[in-house]
Amino acid sequence: MDGHLFEDLSIGMTASVAKTITEADIVLYAAVSTDTNPVHLDEESAAHSMFKGRIAHGMLSAGLISAALGTKLPGPGTIYLSQSLRFRAPVRPGDTVSATVEVTALDPERKRATLKTTCFVKGKPVIEGEALVQVPTRA
């Protein structure tokens, strides 16, 4: 696993993780989260929604932000403190979601980092937000 201590971070650093969202991912996420909304699981019902077909759970894609923060930037030992999310477009089964995080601010006194968080499908943003994390230090 990659990762950075607070002392190694700088404004503008970025990292990404990507995953293709499968049928199994959607079904398993529905089971774990108990979100069995038909727009995620039933094609016939979803066809009548504003999306005209099934979509993945928004939080399933947002989970990739957590993966980027916890495994790449800052990396292992990072503690999530807050996250804002704005869902911009649906993610459909078979879409590949790329979550990118970018360091936008550093608080040396508290060893915290603020990161811009964005999920993309085919280069278009599907989720935008901001995360605040506690970052491990050398001390």
| Per-residue pLDDT reduced to its tens digit, 63-77 | 999 999 999 999 999
pLDDT at 47: 97
In a domain, 89, yes or no: yes
Task: Give me the residues paired with residue 98 across strands.
Answer: 18, 120
- Under the banding of pLDDT at 50, 70 and 90, the label for residue 139 is confident
pLDDT at 17: 98
Q: What's 35's DSSP letter?
A: -
Give the three-class secondary structure for 51: coil
Domain count, the chain: 1
Give the three-class secondary structure for 53: coil
Task: Judge whether residue 2 has pLDDT over 90.
Answer: no
Q: Residue 94 belongs to what domain range?
A: 6-21+58-134
In a domain, 73, yes or no: yes
User: 108-118 pLDDT, tens per residue?
Assistant: 999 999 999 99
User: 22-74 pLDDT, tens per residue?
Assistant: 999 999 999 999 999 999 999 999 999 999 999 999 999 999 999 999 999 99
Which CATH number fits the domain that encloses residue 97? 3.10.129.10
In a domain, 28, yes or no: no
Q: Are strands 14-20 and 96-107 parallel, antiparallel or unpaired?
A: antiparallel
pLDDT at 107: 98
Task: Judge whether residue 1 has pLDDT over 60.
Answer: no
